[in-house]
Amino acid sequence: MAKTPHKLLVLSTPVGPLGTGLGGGVELTLFNMAQVLEQRGYSLTVLAPQGSKLPPLAIDTLPGALQDTAQSQGRQTPITLPPQSVLAAMCETARQRQSQFDAIVNFAYDWLPFFLTPFFEIPIFHFVSMGSLNDGMDEVVQKAVQSHPQRVTFYTRTQAATFGLDDHQGLYIPSGLDLSLYDFCDRPGTPLAWVGRIAPEKGLEDAVAAIGETGDEMTVWGVMQCPDYWDEIRQRYPQAKVTYGGFLPTEALQTALGQCRGLVMTSKWVEAFGNVAIEALACGVPVVSYRRGGPAEIIRDGETGWLVDPDSVAGLVAGIEKLPQLSRLACRQQAEAEYSLAAMGDRLEQWLSQSSPTQELCH
């Protein structure tokens, strides 16, 4: 049986420097993975775009042009790389340095590292961080799964199914959190929270429409990825009591989020996971979400949140009104039982140890 790789070269997302939030939830997932694996004796070298900062993580930064985000592309959009591509530089560096490592762990949701799977001399493990968005990307993900199913992981089954991989034989790795960084808050204020990149796939307009009906106040935290989208929502719902709280580091975010009586999640796409859902639960904050994608696998309907019909503002309103029925302690307890860093570490170690060719032949 092959030995578990312990010296890992990690490829970060090429859509933004780590720490800016442009990469979305994958930044937190990568950070938490690095923390827990380092605690368990692995050594990690992270390659990421210039400007990346995520202390105490040591990062080797590379200059170069960022990739466009996959969600801004169409299904048929050809795969592109800009001149001076940072993703190409990351892959080239991985090729040059591969003999110093046991394996590569790829967090880039992009065509090139998947395509290069058979070109590397050491194993490459892929952590797929989004659902299916582009046909060319689907092809290379499916190919990587066909050749080494155990080396490709998804957050959730719903996410894998978007690639037509309903019967994926590899492991699923839901995210995990360092729960010591998230305080349980049993005495919230009255406002609601909405947390995420401010971008159309997140459906912020539905949450704003819902609070327009319930009369609640709501604070929005996250990277202002599409300012025009935000302005358009503000103009459409001028009476809604919505405030933008900025993009906060985890410590400040969890304090502010913990003081809210509920988190509203309104994704229009199949959210691969939804880190903000487990961050809310960790603070004792129940979640009202569309029954779609990752949040539908995370939230226990009627216990730690309310799952409502996708795209139904009336459903959101009903869920918000029923928030007082839920126990905040149950939310924290679910986070502790299912989404601890230790639980994530166990899943990651299992993933990295399952790479022997013999096991793969079984599938």
Q: Which residues bind to ligand UDP, rule: CB under 6 A?
A: 21, 24-25, 28, 195-197, 221-222, 247-248, 250, 253, 273-276, 279
Nearest approach in angstroms of CB 241 to ligand UDP is 19
Q: How far is the CB of 181 from ligand UDP (least distance, A)?
A: 11
% helix / strand / coil in the chain, to the nearest 5?
A: 40, 15, 40
- The nearer residue to ligand UDP, 88 or 277, going by C-beta atoms, is 277
Task: Output the smallest distance, CB 98 to ligand UDP, in A.
Answer: 28
Nearer to ligand UDP, 221 or 351 (CB): 221
The nearest distance, CB 149 to ligand UDP, in angstroms, is 24
Sheet containing strand 152-154, strands side by side:
59-62, 43-49, 7-11, 103-106, 124-128, 152-154
The residues near 312 (Cβ < 8 Å, ≥ 6 apart) are 290
Residue nearest to ligand UDP (CB): 25
CB nearer to ligand UDP: pick between 37 and 177: 177
Decide: 257 and 221 in contact? Cβ < 8 Å.
yes
CB of 82 vs ligand UDP, minimal distance in Å: 22
CA-to-CA separations, 70 to 14, 21, 75, 79, 138, in angstroms, rounded:
11, 15, 9, 10, 12
Least distance in angstroms from the C-beta of 318 to ligand UDP: 23
- Residue 147: CB minimum distance to ligand UDP, A: 27
Please, which residue, 28 or 288, has the CB nearer to ligand UDP?
Answer: 28
Our CB check for ligand UDP shows the closer of 31 and 101 to be 31
Nearest-approach distance from CB 339 to ligand UDP, in angstroms: 12
CA dist 118 → 1, 7, 122 (Å): 20, 19, 9
Nearer to ligand UDP, 24 or 203 (CB): 24
What sign does the CA torsion over 9, 10, 14, 20 have?
negative
CB-wise, 127 or 247, nearer to ligand UDP?
A: 247
Which of 94, 298 has the CB closer to ligand UDP?
A: 298
Q: Residue 62: helix, strand or coil by DSSP?
A: strand
User: Using CA atoms, how far apart are residues 214 and 161, in angstroms rounded to an integer?
Assistant: 35
Q: Least Å distance between CB 243 and ligand UDP?
A: 13
Q: Choose between 274 and 286: whose C-beta lies nearer to ligand UDP.
A: 274
Place of tokens 């793969």: 360
* 72: phi then psi, degrees, rounded to nearest 5: -90, 0
Pairing state between β 103-106 and 241-246: unpaired
Distance separating alpha carbons of residues 257 and 253, to the nearest angstrom: 6
Residue type, 62: L
Burial category of 2 from C-beta neighbours within 10 Å (exposed 0-12, middle 13-18, buried 19 and up): middle
Secondary structure class of 221 (helix, strand, coil): strand
Sequence-ordered list of residues with C-beta below 8 angstroms from that of 344, at least 6 positions apart, any chain: 32, 33, 36, 173, 174, 175, 176, 177
